[in-house]
A and B are shown apart, each in its own frame.
Chain A
Amino acid sequence: MSFEILTFSFMHRALISGIAIAILCSVVGLFLVLRRYSLFGDAIAHSSFGGIALGLLAGVYPLWTAYGVSIAGALIITKIKDRYNISGDASIAVLLSSGIAVGLVIIGLSGGFTIDIFSFLFGSILLVSVDDTILILSLTGIILIVILILYRQILYSTFNEEQAKVSGIPVEKINYLIVFMAGITVVTSIQLVGVLLISALFVIPNVTAIMYGKGFKQTAIISMSFSIFSVIVGILVSYVFDITPAGTIVLMAIGLLAGTMGIKSAGLLSKN
């Protein structure tokens, strides 16, 4: 393996975007996992499939329509869930299947599959442009700042809604904010791992980090580190061996999870 690959500018863009997305997914994903909403990212990603198909049909840059459709879909399903008292997992199923259904119908209308759709399904991190990179960095920055500012409120309403309400926290607004941020995060991350593997980045580093028995900030930092490690190693390894980056990244994350479980069952992780 030569270090020459580190001098390619497409590789710089891939690594920079990848690291930003890794941080974003691990932070937003932590709140989703703790809200027992792990598959919500997956559902948003599938609904973005409908948005991407819409963009391809209309001749608009597909990620823009994906942002619109995914965020709208996520907010609407949350509203419906609260209004009609549908359980979280059922609402995820509804969102997920309607996104795919819309996508399939649109693709049919447009006269069949185009090759473009595959890069959205499986990611295309080595192809990100300078503009994409700037967009990814800006959105990551904005969302991280919002989370940093509202960190206590978001954590508190995730921990216990009722008590948060009594402490005067606008729990419902916070819930919608999280859904909104999840929508942006998912679509932004599609370029890295594609529609099909999004929830891996949301869930696996966080489930791994939670096992270390630490407090909130440390758990978030451990998760971020694992996420960044998986993305960097995944991108480099996949390039060297000419395999798909998305799959390699996710396998790295799974490797860290398996390693952590191994350490834990060997009793090497103390309880606190």
Chain B
Amino acid sequence: MIDLEHIHRNFQVGDQTVRALDDVNLHIEAGEYVSIMGPSGSGKSTLLNLLGLLDRPSSGIYRLNGEDVTSLSDTQQARVRNREIGFVFQMFHLVPRLSAEENVELPLILAGIPPEQRRPRVAAVLEGLHLSNRRHHKPEQLSGGQRQRVAIARATVTNPKVLLADEPTGNLDHKSGQDVIRILEDLNHRGITLIMVTHDQEMGQRARRQLHMLDGRLLNGQRNDDA
């Protein structure tokens, strides 16, 4: 489903070139549960953003469902992102003036789906994440765990094939973190491809497949079935 071939991503900082990704090769099957671990600055977020089409590689080829997506225009990439990919961020990134329900509705609005079709879908995901009684709350009225659950609801309301999570528990206490991980794993059980960046060894080791990064290199990009 996901194919990365010789992916490089360089950042120019002054007269220095930072190799955030250095010849990354990676194949991920649909429905996999992958964790990406590694020290800070090793390129984990850069990789995840690239997978989510928020960033473009400096060189290399990225195929999503067999299609070369590196050559797509910004607009085409945005459409793929809207349909196929869900994001969960460490900082939640909820729009503060919108209620939980309205935040979840956003990707459907951007997809041009009419309100009468949106409502049942939003209600269903909120119900599934036990947020129905919080649907009119603003983000500031929600706990960290609830906020992240709203963010997960938003990421999954479009039924994407891939869910990308960048340190989803980084801003949560242990218990809420555990809840969030369980929710994500549950989604994976039901078929979504889950790719999660974490620097927490314990959490990372729950994944069936664990990737380790160091200085922009993927240490074990190939399949690791004994994990």
Chain A bound to chain B? no
